Structure formats: structure tokens, C-alpha cells
């Protein structure tokens, strides 16, 4: 975003600044399209490996990006396991040992419940808006939909796990159709693809998301939204460690 000589510098700066602002607005619109003040969802997760497949059922409660609670309901061996996020802090209730464990930042990149999602993916301890700079780098067609191509680069000292994210957001519905996640060495690690786009509780959203790790052939994790209630009534007192222990 810098200059040539006075006039050229001025118009160049304005142009690129507007582009950056446009990228931010696109990301914000995409976030608002899916998030709501209060949100209750029933979710199915399928973990696929070359020699086996495992399914999990979960229920989640969230208030914007600040608070979230995820309860595992099946299979039986994982039932009652719960995760709580408040702002940037995350706790895990482990029923087998009846203990609440706080997850340190160093665990954000680790696998969530043996899946290809990380702890950060599921509870979103980092913010796409606050922790990354957004740059519009082009437009491409994804599965028949024209999409903005946006590059997300971590801000200096941002507490994030990815070195770079490239996201494709549909121009019409502002839906995140695809995202690529890179490490600090600019090496592609995971690809997230959204599909089964349809109306759910009055909003057009992708109800199926698939994560494919690039280097692990035959590995995938699929999340499917079975139901979702946008703007549901949720007592915010449930987002506490005491409530975490009582989840069933």
C-alpha cells in the first residue's frame, strides 16, 4: 500500500486501502451471515480414516464469538465430555476423571477429539477480524458460485495457530465456500470445504463442512448441522465452569 510520487502515491494508497476495507467488510458480512447473538445447534461429526470411521453427536450453545459451550452426546464412551469457551479462555470437562482442565494456548493446534479439526477450529479462540489482516486478492468460481478470494495474514503478535489462511466467500450469499490453512512456513496443511448449502432456520448456510488434511491420504472429518436455532434464548449463566460440570 505505498507510493510512487505524490499524486500516483495518493491514488494508489486510496485504491489499496479501499480494497483492504472491502475485504474486511466481506469477511464481516460472512461472519454475520452465520453467527447470531444466540445460537443453539445439533451437530454430527464423522471422522474418516483409511481403516475405520467414527461418528459423534454434539450439541452447542453460543453467544456471538465470545462464549460457546459444546457437549458430546454420543458415542457412549465420550458422552458428557464438554468444552467451554469464554473470550480467549477454554476449559474441558472430562467426566471419566470428573475434572475441569484448562487448555493452554499451546494446545490450540492439537486435534479436537481425534478429528482433523483443531481445538481452535471448534471453539474459535482466535478472531478472523481482530487477529488477521484481510486482503482481497481476486475472484474465482467455486462449485458454480462466483467467490471473492481473500488472504488472511496474522497481525503482529496475534495469538493464532495459522501462518496464513486463504478463504473463498460467495459474492451473492457471503458464504464461506472454501478455506486453505497454511503453517508459518507457508505450507498447506488443511483444506476446509463447505457444501449442502440450504435454508436452515430462515438463513441460507452451508450445512456440511469437510476438512481434508493435505498430507494424510484417506483422512477426512465431516461436520453436519442437523438443526440450528438462530437467536435462541440462552441464559448466559450457563457459560461457567460450574455449569460445565453439570452438563449431561
Nearest by Cα to 220 from 176, 190, 186: 190
Average of per-residue pLDDT values in the chain: 84
pTM equals 0.82
pLDDT at 155 over 50: yes
Per domain, the residue ranges of the chain are 30-246
Which tops the pLDDT comparison, 127 or 81? Answer: 81
Q: How does residue 35 score in pLDDT terms, banded at 50, 70 and 90?
A: low
Which tops the pLDDT comparison, 57 or 19? Answer: 57
Number of Cβ within 10 Å of residue 144's Cβ equals: 6
Map grid coordinates 454420543 to a residue: 74
Half-sphere exposure of 239 (CA within 13 A, CB side): 19
Q: What is the reported pLDDT for 107?
A: 82
Q: What is the reported pLDDT for 34?
A: 61
Number of Cβ within 10 Å of residue 83's Cβ equals: 23
Q: What is the mean pLDDT of residues 90-106?
A: 89
Q: What is the mean pLDDT of residues 199-218?
A: 93
Nearest by Cα to 164 from 150, 176, 178, 182: 182
Number of Cβ within 10 Å of residue 39's Cβ equals: 20
- The CATH architecture assigned to 30-246 reads Clam (2.50)
pLDDT at 32 over 80: no
Residues 6+ apart with CB under 8 A from 117: 111, 211, 221, 223
Amino acid at each position: 500500500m505505498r507510493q510512487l510520487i505524490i499524486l500516483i502515491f495518493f491514488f494508489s494508497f486510496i485504491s489499496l486501502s479501499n480494497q483492504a476495507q472491502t475485504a474486511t467488510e466481506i469477511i464481516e458480512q460472512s461472519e454475520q451471515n452465520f453467527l447470531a447473538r444466540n445460537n443453539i445447534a445439533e451437530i454430527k461429526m464423522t471422522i474418516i480414516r483409511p481403516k475405520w470411521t467414527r461418528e459423534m453427536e454434539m450439541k452447542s450453545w453460543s453467544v456471538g464469538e465470545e462464549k460457546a459451550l459444546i457437549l458430546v452426546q454420543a458415542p457412549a464412551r465420550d458422552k458428557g465430555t464438554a468444552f467451554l469457551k469464554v473470550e480467549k479462555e477454554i476449559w474441558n470437562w472430562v467426566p471419566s476423571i470428573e475434572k475441569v482442565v484448562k487448555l493452554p494456548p499451546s494446545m490450540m493446534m492439537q486435534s479436537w477429539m481425534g478429528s482433523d479439526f483443531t481445538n481452535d477450529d471448534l471453539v474459535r479462540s482466535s478472531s478472523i477480524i481482530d487477529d488477521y489482516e484481510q486482503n482481497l486478492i481476486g475472484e474465482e468460481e467455486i462449485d458454480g458460485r462466483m467467490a471473492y478470494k481473500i488472504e488472511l495474514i496474522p497481525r503482529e503478535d496475534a495469538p493464532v495457530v495459522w501462518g496464513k489462511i486463504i478463504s473463498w466467500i460467495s459474492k451473492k450469499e457471503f458464504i464461506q465456500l472454501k478455506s486453505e490453512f497454511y503453517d508459518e512456513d507457508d505450507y498447506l496443511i488443511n483444506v476446509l470445504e463447505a457444501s449442502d448449502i440450504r435454508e436452515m432456520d430462515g438463513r441460507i448456510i452451508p450445512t456440511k463442512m469437510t476438512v481434508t488434511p493435505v498430507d494424510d491420504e484417506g483422512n477426512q472429518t465431516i461436520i453436519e448441522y442437523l438443526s440450528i436455532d438462530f437467536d435462541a434464548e440462552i441464559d448466559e449463566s450457563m457459560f461457567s465452569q460450574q455449569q460445565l460440570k453439570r452438563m449431561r
